[in-house]
Amino acid sequence: PYPHYAWLREHAPVYHDRDLGLWVLSRHDDVATALRDSDRFSSDTGGPWSDLSANPFNPSMKVAAPVARAARRLPAPRVLLTSDPPDHTMLRRKVSRAFTPRRIASWEPRIRQITERLLSQMTARGGRVDLVRDLASPLPTTVIAEMMGVPPERQDRFRRWSDKAIDGLLTNGSLRSTLHGTAAMSAYFAAAVRKRRRNPRDDLISLLVTDGDEAPLSAGELVTFCILLLVAGNETTTNLISNTMLALMDNPRAMEMLQADPGLAGAAVEETLRYDGPGQGLLRLTKADVTFGDVTIPAGHRVLPLIASANRDPRRHPDPDAFRLDRGRTDHLAFGTGIHFCIGHALARLESTVAIESLARLGLTPRPAGTPERINSPVLRGLRTLPLTLT
């Protein structure tokens, strides 16, 4: 997609796609403006999370009428990702104490253990691996399941639900599958919330149902938030780990530097967030007319701020198409910016850094063993498979 983004930035930085009914922003400053100005750019877009009966990225994809009817009958509690202030402010305050840097950092030893276990299973296979299946996918799902207190024997099922729920976001995905995955998770979390209210334990759900100065989240809000964590956190982190490995294999100099000094893993992950991040674009709805240069986007229109294009804008990032470990900057927009800035950024960075660093410490050289298969989505960027040999 990157040559297309470059064309847009130069020739049509505020591009109106009439077929999709979308205004596409591609320059860093315009994308950052749209994300920071939550007064004029609403997150309540009628997008994939707020209306399961329509997919804004793929309007031609229709859902069966009974499924659409069922989706509309589901309770619609406020969702952090798609709400505006004051609801957003209230929800964010209640959940953010579960994601403080200290709390996330306390997970590091456990994340290292899980990674070591996955790596030893991988090397036991004799050096031929699929990085997605063997490491990038199970790591974040296992970690979040443990954080939520899901018992080990239920974690496989958990992963399947989360995969199903994400399916509707993919171009060829099925909204029926999204709905079924979401329904299964809702039932599971509703029961978990009831149990933790009676018997709080040392996990994320207990933290969210118990202490805090304010009125706790409603059961519906809690269930929705748990689902949001899986959907927003698993696939994205999986993609970050795989995209980092792919970028390193495509840039042998960077790979050599990492092999010589595994402590550079954090820099490789950070550069991948800028260079080939898991999320390409976000969605907003204008609440007023907004002017960029000589183009005015009218109120009530959908806007696609292309964060991945902003991250390659040479006005912001010198030599943007080069993958470099020495940039030392974190001012990319891969985690968004403004009030919706990713609540899981520290966790995603930690998991991805531990994964890449631990792989580098094995002292084995990863080489492609077949063509990696991309996921098919206009908004998510990552790999379905990344076959490798480790020699």
Residues that bind ligand HEM (CB under 6 A): 35, 43, 80-81, 92, 144, 228-229, 232-233, 236-237, 240, 277-279, 282, 334-336, 340, 342-344, 347-348
Residues sharing a CB contact under 8 Å with residue 351, sequence separation 6 or more, in sequence order: 111, 139, 140, 143, 237, 241
User: How far is Cα 330 from Cα 320, in angstroms, rounded to an integer?
Assistant: 14
Minimum CB–partner distance for residue 316 and ligand HEM (Å): 17
Minimum CB–partner distance for residue 217 and ligand HEM (Å): 13
What single string gives the DSSP state of each residue in 62-109? PPPHHHHHHHHHS-----GGG--TTHHHHHHHHHHGGG-HHHHHTTHH
**Listed residue (14, 59, 46) closest to 305, CA to CA:** 14
**Which pair of structure tokens corresponds to residue 332?**
């990319």
**Listed residue (222, 221, 158) closest to 195, CA to CA:** 222
Minimum CB–partner distance for residue 285 and ligand HEM (Å): 11
The smaller minimum CB distance to ligand HEM, of residues 35 and 265, is found at 35
Residue at token pair 């933290």:
207
Count the alpha carbons within 13 Å of 101 in the hemisphere toward its beta carbon. Answer: 0
The smaller minimum CB distance to ligand HEM, of residues 118 and 145, is found at 145
Straight-line distance from the first to the last Cα atom of the chain, in angstroms, rounded to the nearest whole number: 32
Minimum CB–partner distance for residue 85 and ligand HEM (Å): 11
Minimum CB–partner distance for residue 147 and ligand HEM (Å): 8
The smaller minimum CB distance to ligand HEM, of residues 119 and 346, is found at 346
Query: Cα torsion for 279, 309, 339, 328, to the nearest 10°?
Result: 90
The residue number with the shortest CB distance to ligand HEM is 344
Contact 354, 105 (CB under 8 A): no
The smaller minimum CB distance to ligand HEM, of residues 216 and 338, is found at 338
The smaller minimum CB distance to ligand HEM, of residues 67 and 356, is found at 356
Helix (H, G, I), strand (E, B) or coil at 311: coil
Minimum CB–partner distance for residue 81 and ligand HEM (Å): 4
Minimum CB–partner distance for residue 169 and ligand HEM (Å): 13
The smaller minimum CB distance to ligand HEM, of residues 92 and 301, is found at 92
The smaller minimum CB distance to ligand HEM, of residues 45 and 259, is found at 45
Residue at token pair 């080939």:
276
Minimum CB–partner distance for residue 146 and ligand HEM (Å): 12
The smaller minimum CB distance to ligand HEM, of residues 115 and 236, is found at 236
